[in-house]
């Protein structure tokens, strides 16, 4: 019996890359899987339902349970239909893995409003809509005296945690998702819901375009960039065994599981009085000399 036996999980963007790896891994551990994907291009254009159908066929052929779903996660009513579809197909819902996303890489000086809005729409609104309807469902269970033992698993990125050259919109959206996760964890524990986030590094359509050299590990003894390497931690976070873990951000790459330490208060000076503007510079220089060196923005020197 797998660690997710009988649990039902919605995975957005589940037709390719990381989402597909998650879907297969959850199913292998006994979960019922809703494979949500509209089949869009990397930039969010177009529709292709065959992509989700193919993952469902793989799961069913291996003896698992899955249904395809082609609803748009950014549409409020459609997002509710995703939750409803999970309950209709499998009688319950336990896990939402918010994985779907797009990228519109552009140096900030050339970025357009449409690219910015599209990126925020898919990442931030998409994370909000599906989870918000799932929380309504789980709160209803909790009010009826049933512990939902539920999980929200969000997707941030190294770009969101430290920034990435030519990815201002993507980095901003992913940073927002990390902050959203902290708030969800703080607010939703009373309903039996945990919230955690992942910053995965793996070979996908998105990363092959931006980090081709880093992603080329297929011929190594251990293919560190295989998306399947990330899946075991995601499955465990979706299981009943992870109920004590919430409000965490994990960076995952190859066999590495790293817990992010987050923003913390650093060195400070306080004279107990108002500063003169001319004195602030010296204080800031003292703080800069005392701080822990920050991580570099991806792609910077």
73, 79 contact by CB (below 8 A): yes
Q: pLDDT at position 218, please?
A: 61
CATH no., domain 8-259: 3.40.50.720
Write the pLDDT tens digit of every residue in 47-79. 788 999 999 999 999 999 999 999 999 999 999
Taking the C-alpha atoms of residue 24 and residue 48, their distance in angstroms, rounded to an integer, is 20
Question: How much of the chain exceeds pLDDT 70, in percent?
Answer: 92
Comparing 35-49, 167-181, 243-257, the range with the smallest average pLDDT is 35-49
Arithmetic mean of pLDDT over the chain: 93
Looking at residue 132, what is its pLDDT?
A: 98
> Mean of the pLDDT values across residues 151-169?
95
Within 10 A of 218 (CB to CB), how many other CB atoms are there?
10
Question: pTM of this prediction?
Answer: 0.92
- For 233-292, the pLDDT digits (tens) are 999 999 999 999 999 999 999 999 999 998 889 999 999 999 999 999 999 999 999 999
Quick: pLDDT tens for 88-118.
999 999 999 999 999 899 999 999 999 999 9
What span, in angstroms and rounded, lies between the C-alpha atoms of 212 and 200? 16
Q: In 3D, which of 242, 29, 256, 58 has the Cα closest to residue 153?
A: 242
Q: Tell me: the pLDDT tens digits for 188-203?
A: 999 999 999 999 998 8
Name the residues annotated as catalytic.
157, 170, 174
195: part of which helix (H) or strand (E)? strand 193-201
The pLDDT of residue 246 is: 98
């Amino acid at each position: 019996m797998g660690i997710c036996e009988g649990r039902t999980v919605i995975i957005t963007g589940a037709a390719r890359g990381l989402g597909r790896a998650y879907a297969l891994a959850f199913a292998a551990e006994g979960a019922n899987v809703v494979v949500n994907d509209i089949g869009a291009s990397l930039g969010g254009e177009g529709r292709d339902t065959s992509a989700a159908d193919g993952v469902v066929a793989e799961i069913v052929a291996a003896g698992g349970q899955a249904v395809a779903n082609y609803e748009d996660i950014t549409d409020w009513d459609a997002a509710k239909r995703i939750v409803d579809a999970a309950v209709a197909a499998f009688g319950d819902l336990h896990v939402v893995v918010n994985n779907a996303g797009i990228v519109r890489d552009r140096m900030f000086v050339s970025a357009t409003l449409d690219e910015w809005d599209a990126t925020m729409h898919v990442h931030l609104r998409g994370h909000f809509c599906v989870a918000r309807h799932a929380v309504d469902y789980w709160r209803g269970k909790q009010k009826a005296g049933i512990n939902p033992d539920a999980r929200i698993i969000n997707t941030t990125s190294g770009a969101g945690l430290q920034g990435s050259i030519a990815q201002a919109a993507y980095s901003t959206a992913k940073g927002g998702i990390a902050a959203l996760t902290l708030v969800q964890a703080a607010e939703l524990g009373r309903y039996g819901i945990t919230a955690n986030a992942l910053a995965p590094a793996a070979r996908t359509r998105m990363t092959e375009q931006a980090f081709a050299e880093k992603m080329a590990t297929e011929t190594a003894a251990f293919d560190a960039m295989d998306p399947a390497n990330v899946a075991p931690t995601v499955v465990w976070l979706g299981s009943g065994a992870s109920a004590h873990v919430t409000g965490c951000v994990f960076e995952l790459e190859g066999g590495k599981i790293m817990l992010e330490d987050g923003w913390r208060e650093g060195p400070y000076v306080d004279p107990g009085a108002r500063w003169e503007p001319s004195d602030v510079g010296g204080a800031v220089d003292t703080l800069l000399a005392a701080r822990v060196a920050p991580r570099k923005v991806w792609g910077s020197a």
